[in-house]
Amino acid sequence: MMRRFFTYLFFSLFIPMALHAQIPESRSSAALAERIKSAPDEVFNKFREAGMQPVDHILTAKEKDKVAKAFTMLSPLHSKILKQHLHSISFMDNMPNTALTSPVETTDSSQKFNITFRAEIINETVSQWATWKENTYYTFPEGSGMEITIDAGELDAMVYVLLHEATHVVDAVLALTPHSGEGDTVAAPTAFTRGIWHTANVPEKAFISPLLETTRFRSGKQVPVSDAPKIYKDLQKTPFVSLYSTAAWFEDLAELVAIYHLTAKLNQPFQVSVKQNSKEIMSFEPMKSKLVKKRLEQLKVFYD
């Protein structure tokens, strides 16, 4: 998750030179991908202290193209803030989670951030990666016959993960979620959190479900996949777009922006499907939720 540390478990890069001096927005956004550097030492140390052995991943030309394309798909606000505050992006092999956004020390008062990505996501689609991630929330007893899939289209997973992590940078700079309260501390709400969150990681009572409280981002534990249909039914009664959104208000913002942008701006689907013996027994499309739609007014800042 986030605060001092944030966690998270197409245009061509080479465009012919225009006949005028102004640089097209897609090109200047793609140029953000040129800020590739080795991850900061403190990022390596975090993983090594946990017994991991991450190593730098050297991107191929094709992988660099994929990364550059992902940057061109961001919202105008993402691009603006990253141009000013993105210090570097990094890629690791043997990284245990999907991505990590962390502040970088500067010699002045400017805010700079590094985003480190697990390199494997570059060659996965959003659907492949999102399905894998969703399945890590559950245990699958032998013979259950149950499976969970997410149809999120065929864009590169890098697009979604970059949207999520770039939103953390925007939030850190603009304080779209409260930054004065941590953990159990009650802070003055922002427009985004008002009526939704009581503290940084506790929703308002109206959106607390005993079943949702057992899930990974509330309890830290996996739950039996047999609970999945009831879990998604309970999730549909909340303003959260995903189970990850229930972890904390900053993950809520990052997930809502990522899924909204993926579906509304990039014209991709986002549907969670629960199947038993290959037959769908329930599905969940968060962007069709009335409670979720009520929150979209708060996302206009990303597109003005």
- Can you give the pLDDT at residue 17? 28
- Can you give the pLDDT at residue 154? 97
d(CA 73, CA 85): 18
SS3 at position 39: coil
- Can you give the pLDDT at residue 77? 98
Q: Has residue 286 been placed in a domain? A: yes
Q: Has residue 211 been placed in a domain? A: yes
Mean per-residue pLDDT pooled into runs of 10, the chain (304 residues): 38 27 54 91 88 93 96 97 96 93 91 96 98 97 95 98 98 93 74 96 97 97 97 98 97 98 98 97 97 98 96
Mutual orientation of helices 249-260 and 157-174 as an angle, nearest 10°? 130
Q: Has residue 31 been placed in a domain? A: yes
- Can you give the pLDDT at residue 22? 38
Q: Has residue 1 been placed in a domain? A: no
Number of domains in the chain: 1
Q: Structural domain of residue 284, as residue ranges?
A: 6-302
DSSP 191: T
Q: Has residue 276 been placed in a domain? A: yes
Q: Closest Cα partner for 209 from 190, 184, 171, 235?
A: 235
Nearest 5°: CA angle at 188, between 242 and 250?
A: 25
Give the pairing of strands 202-203 and 197-199.
Answer: antiparallel
Structure-block tokens of residue 94: 């043997």
DSSP one-letter string for 215-281: SHHHHSS-EEGGGHHHHHHHHTTSS-SSTGGGG-HHHHHHHHHHHHIIIIIS----EEEEEETTEEE
- Can you give the pLDDT at residue 27? 57
Contact 159, 266 (CB under 8 A): yes
- Find tokens 């629960």 and name the residue: 274
- Can you give the pLDDT at residue 182? 56
SS3 at position 147: strand
